[in-house]
Chain A
């Protein structure tokens, strides 16, 4: 156990679930009620729908989980004990904490970057909803800590996310496989200061899905925005890329999100909504704002109520007119599975979308395909823009049927190009390693390791291989087998050779 000790400022406190307060095991139930009411039923942002004074009904799903939890919590208790002289014992009744048990898909996770998001969360709770309010640590931390990035785990332990050790220790409480934990740790580390606390709370909620459980399928992101960012006054900033990275690291959670409400200004452009659909692949509806959005106290709760009504249960459609006549209702844009993108304007004419596709193919796709440019982030940038335009073209009703197959193949190649460096090259190398070695050796060439080469370097190897192949009257069988894999697969990125599971 001593080996698990952490430097003193990485883990700040443990909290008994019977009191809901760090250090203060003897707090009275009266003060508890006051605190709960004042802080919108809870104070830490992980699971807020359950009163902290209620008996623990935390999920202990099996002996293995129980043992795992015991080890984790006991380790935390030792750390805190060493730091503060707290003698909390980790026993199962302390572990479950406020649960994220979900009984239907009307539950909501509300990530609020501004203080006013508390009002938004309360308004949804007043409609009878279970709302998990993710919010700034400044709203609940002990005054003397004065730290931007804190998170409280299910067990009540408080972690300081401004240190690598604090992040590691927190991620350890999520009880996820080590490779996945490592990814989440890196994502939290690189998130901007004062945004780590909110992202970590979200990770804690999503961890349940990653472990095979159910999480709320409705997600509200509330804050100031200028497009792909979400920030709060006196708080940090989260980019769409941060959510995308977390979703990628926790795909089982991302797959459960069906309804997204972006309560921020200028979030509702078509490009932006397409980008969010990439983040959450099973989205059924999105609500956002092409212009300014109403503030927490000046209309946001009205819109949240209309959205709640429109997206309860399983829906595939969302009509922006449900908010007609409300303040800033004219700025709403929606996307839904059945109706597509709507912003109150007529859809862009085919000629305009086609021109944008052709233009972006010349200035975006070509350079990435040749390897002259490398994709830094598959979720953003020029090539991602071209991919989204391609999707928009495919969805356009005026696209001639004779072109549909060709554009579809182009779309499939483009998404593989977006992930070429990140996943495709490595998986191709792993899967075809023997064929690569045999094929190159059969032509007297050195076998490359495509997982370590840039696309430009890989294309040069493929070109050499092809030239040597064509110079031979009867190329060896190993080379004949490899050639279509290299040209059709790694070079042209055909979906028949590069499966979608590699993306």
Chain B
């Protein structure tokens, strides 16, 4: 079963579960921590509120969309980490494309499309989707250039990321990472699992880049 199917089925299941628990909240004021979809992420999102439901309204309206994202990222991160490293890039992109409806359409569409493309085209697709959202201080680059060509003025001093890691990956993928990371933070969706998906994307892309450079040298 591929990730799309897994996510959609599991996310639907989670939505139903949350709805059931929200309904049960008529008798209990709080959802047990271990049942809350955010419990695994350690992040608190919007609490389930009884007063949010009006008679006749679809019960799914009670579900916090960010909770759905947290659940989606959780499922996706687990799926990704079952795979060997070279296979993680498409899975990470599929996850970004499908796990969270709150991410912008352009990001999700580009991620889903890129997930089934080969390396160079993938970088191009991702870069096209985000290049207008990059800081004006970013250098104009080709999507397949080394990400370091974007320039430190573009991505700042990333003390958390190795400069060699940045140098090893395509500019298109790194630019995409920067924009998605920013969007997740702005929308308060950046949690343990969404971070983990992005870290896996970064690391796998850099490792692939390193491998290609080594082949070229030979």
Contacts and interface: CB of A to CB of B under 8 A. Distances in A.
Interface stretch (B53-61, B101-109, B202-210): B202-210
Interface residue SS majority, chain B:
helix
Interface stretch (A267-275, A439-447, A453-461, A494-502): A267-275
Contact of B161 (A193, A224, A227): A227
Interface in B126-174: 157-165, 168
A92 interface: no
A292 interface: yes
A234 interface: yes
A170 interface: no
Contacts of A194: 192
A227 B157 contact: no
Contact of A266 (B81, B82, B162, B195): B162
B42 A266 contact: no
Contacts of B210: 291-292
Contacts of A48: none
Given A193-B42, A193-B192, A231 B199 contact: yes
B160 A227 contact: yes
A362 to B, nearest CB: 14
B44 to A, nearest CB: 12
B159 A380 contact: yes
B81 A226 contact: no
A385 B161 CA distance: 13
A192 B164 CA distance: 26
Interface residues of B, number: 25
A228 B164 contact: no
B82 to A, nearest CB: 8
Contacts of B161: 226-228, 266
A45 B26 CA distance: 44
Nearest to B158: A227
B81 A384 contact: no
A185 B59 CA distance: 42
A446 B161 CA distance: 46
Residue of B78, B157, B162, B202 contacting most chain A CB atoms (<10 Å): B162
A210 interface: no
Contacts of B202: 226
Contacts of B113: none
Contact of A267 (B40, B42, B78, B162): B162
Contacts, number: 73
B206 A266 contact: yes
B156 to A, nearest CB: 9
A231 B41 CA distance: 15
A237 B160 contact: no
A192 B192 contact: yes
A231 B157 CA distance: 22
Interface string A370-408: 000000000011101100000000000000000000000
A227 B165 contact: yes
B66 to A, nearest CB: 17
A156 B194 CA distance: 35
Given A266-B206, A292-B207, A237 B192 contact: yes
A265 interface: yes
A245 B40 CA distance: 25
Nearest to A386: B157
Contact of B159 (A225, A236, A290, A381): A381
A366 B16 CA distance: 55
Contacts of B195: 237
A225 B82 CA distance: 17
B196 interface: yes
A144 interface: no
B171 to A, nearest CB: 17
A244 B42 CA distance: 23
Residue of B41, B78, B192, B202 contacting most chain A CB atoms (<10 Å): B192
Interface of B: 40-42, 78, 81-82, 157-165, 168, 192, 195-196, 199, 202-203, 206-207, 210
11 contacts: A192-B42, A224-B203, A227-B160, A227-B161, A234-B81, A237-B196, A265-B207, A266-B206, A271-B163, A292-B210, A380-B160
The 8 closest A-B pairs by CB, nearest first: A266-B162, A233-B81, A193-B42, A227-B162, A266-B165, A227-B161, A292-B207, A269-B162
Given A226-B162, A266-B161, A291-B168, 10 more contacts: A227-B159, A227-B161, A228-B159, A229-B199, A266-B162, A266-B165, A268-B162, A269-B162, A382-B157, A385-B159
